[in-house]
């Protein structure tokens, strides 16, 4: 017990630990988890006060050429009802979002070849021209360095590409052979080199994940020192080969959020929709564990249920305005407030 306490203090002080020490923390019990949580909440407060940033998520296509074994919109899932939003529909989402106070738009989609480099540039430029005070975040998966560069030159500010797992052997258990660990890593390097504010991240409790893998994820994140880190529980999807694997747990996900907050105090850390899906108060608990970002959906309600990466995703029925007021109420209930600002990372 005493030594666990020391580990928590050491992590707080030195902002990192050795791998075997991290494994120990990952396996810790409730008392230690609560200590991590309380410190992470304090560190979040010291860096960002009680401000919670909101990002408007626009899931603009669920076509995907990739085949991640865990993902419901993978190419081979023939039960997925595919859709694409037009530029007009995307701009309608932005207009709606802007009026609700969103100053970051996250364009997320499967790896859809229909959306060529030119089309992505056009979308990015149109958003930046109409809303020069807003940040554009792209989350489009693996592209060439040249494509990433062009999007950046068209005005994209940030890019989210979860590394999924920092262990090559584990990566290969989650993806088909054509999707290589090396390329994932290369993409993250390109994004950093080009100058994006970068987000990486992983799922907690993904199939075959070990405590050691989680420790590797944490050390990888520490090493690449990103501006954002996306962490959510793995949740099975019925139409994937991982349908029978257990979901990631609330407690382990909260623990990972707290450790990341302690390792990178100024990081932007979302309380994800997946976290809200496995627990009715998941978002609030995520914020209490160190998260400071929420990313409600701005996509048209007609397509929301089709962007189904995992089963039982929450908030697929509500209008954006409803989501915003629901979130505001939830966030206020834990003494925090939503801010209308771009919310750039202080971890530069």
Contacts with ligand 5AD, residue ranges (CB under 6 A): 70-71, 162, 164, 203, 232, 234-235, 237, 274, 309-310
167 or 258: whose CB is closer to ligand FES?
Answer: 167
Within 131-167, where are the H helices?
145-153
74 or 103: whose CB is closer to ligand FES?
Answer: 74
The span from the CA of 17 to the CA of 39, in Å, is 16
Q: State yes or no: residue 180 binds ligand FES (CB under 6 A).
A: no
The span from the CA of 160 to the CA of 167, in Å, is 19
Q: State yes or no: residue 74 binds ligand FES (CB under 6 A).
A: yes
Q: State yes or no: residue 172 binds ligand FES (CB under 6 A).
A: no
66 or 249: whose CB is closer to ligand FES?
Answer: 66
CB of residue 148 vs ligand FES: minimum separation in angstroms? 16
Angle, to 10 degrees, between the axis of helix 250-263 and the axis of helix 2-14?
50
Candidates 47, 66, 238, 347; binder of ligand FES (CB under 6 A) is 66
162 binds, among ligand 5AD, ligand FES, none (CB under 5 to 8 A by kind): ligand 5AD
Picking from 306, 241, 278, 302, the residue whose alpha carbon sits closest to that of residue 110 is 306
41 or 112: whose CB is closer to ligand FES?
Answer: 112
C-alpha R_g of the chain: 19
Q: State yes or no: residue 187 binds ligand FES (CB under 6 A).
A: no
Residue number of the CB closest to ligand FES reads 68
Q: State yes or no: residue 64 binds ligand FES (CB under 6 A).
A: yes
127-146 mask for ligand FES (x: CB under 6 A)? --------------x-----
Q: Judge residue 199's burial from the number of C-beta atoms within 10 Å of its C-beta, 0-12 exposed, 13-18 middle, 19 or more buried.
A: buried
DSSP 297: B
CA distance to 16, 81, 100, 141, 303, per residue, from 109 (Å):
33, 14, 22, 8, 13
51 or 111: whose CB is closer to ligand FES?
Answer: 111
The span from the CA of 301 to the CA of 121, in Å, is 25
Strand, helix or coil for residue 11: helix
Q: Are 235 and 274 in contact (CB under 8 A)?
A: yes
CB of residue 235 vs ligand 5AD: minimum separation in angstroms? 4
Q: Give the interface size with ligand FES as a residue count (CB under 6 A).
A: 10
CB of residue 317 vs ligand 5AD: minimum separation in angstroms? 20
CB of residue 132 vs ligand FES: minimum separation in angstroms? 31
CB of residue 128 vs ligand 5AD: minimum separation in angstroms? 23
Question: Residues with Cβ < 8 Å from 283, sequence gap 6 or more?
Answer: 271, 275, 276, 294, 327, 330, 331
The span from the CA of 283 to the CA of 310, in Å, is 17
Q: State yes or no: residue 110 binds ligand FES (CB under 6 A).
A: yes
74 binds, among ligand 5AD, ligand FES, none (CB under 5 to 8 A by kind): ligand FES
Annotate 53-90 with b (16+ C-beta within 10 A) or e (fewer).
Answer: bbbbbbbbbbbbebebbbbbbbbebeebeebbbeeebb
CB of residue 69 vs ligand FES: minimum separation in angstroms? 9
Q: Are 80 and 73 in contact (CB under 8 A)?
A: yes
CB of residue 141 vs ligand FES: minimum separation in angstroms? 5
64 binds, among ligand FES, ligand 5AD, none (CB under 5 to 8 A by kind): ligand FES
Residues that bind ligand FES (CB under 6 A): 64, 66-68, 71, 73-74, 110-111, 141
């Amino acid at each position: 017990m005493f030594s666990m306490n020391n580990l928590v203090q050491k992590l707080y002080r030195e902002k990192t630990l050795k791998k075997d020490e991290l494994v120990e923390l990952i396996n810790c019990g409730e008392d230690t988890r609560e200590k991590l949580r309380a410190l992470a909440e304090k560190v979040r407060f010291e860096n960002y006060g009680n401000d919670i940033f909101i990002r408007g998520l626009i899931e603009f296509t669920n076509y995907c050429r990739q085949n991640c074994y865990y993902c419901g919109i993978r190419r081979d899932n023939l039960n997925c009802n595919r859709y694409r939003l037009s530029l007009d529909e995307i701009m309608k989402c932005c207009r709606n979002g802007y009026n609700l106070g969103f100053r970051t738009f996250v364009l997320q989609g499967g790896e859809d070849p229909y959306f060529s480099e030119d089309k992505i540039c056009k979308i990015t430029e149109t958003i930046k021209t109409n809303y020069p005070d807003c940040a554009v975040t792209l989350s489009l998966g693996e592209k060439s360095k040249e494509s990433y560069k062009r999007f950046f030159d068209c005005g994209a500010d940030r890019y989210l590409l979860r590394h999924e797992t920092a262990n090559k052997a584990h990566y290969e258990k989650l993806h088909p052979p054509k999707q290589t660990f090396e390329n994932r890593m290369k993409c993250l390097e390109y994004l950093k080199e080009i100058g994006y504010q970068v987000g990486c991240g992983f799922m907690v409790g993904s199939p075959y994940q070990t405590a050691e893998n989680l420790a590797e994820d944490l050390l990888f994140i520490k090493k690449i020192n990103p501006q954002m880190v996306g962490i959510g529980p793995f949740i099975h999807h019925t139409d994937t080969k991982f349908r029978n694997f257990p979901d990631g747990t609330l407690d382990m996900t909260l623990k990972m959020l707290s450790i990341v907050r302690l390792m990178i105090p100024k990081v932007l850390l979302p309380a994800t929709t997946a976290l809200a899906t496995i627990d009715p108060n998941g978002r609030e608990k995520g914020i209490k564990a160190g998260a400071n970002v929420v990313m409600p959906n701005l996509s048209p309600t007609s397509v929301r249920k089709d962007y189904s990466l995992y089963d039982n995703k929450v908030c697929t029925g509500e209008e954006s305005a409803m989501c915003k007021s629901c979130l505001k109420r939830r966030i206020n209930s834990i003494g925090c407030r939503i801010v209308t600002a771009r919310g750039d990372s202080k971890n530069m």
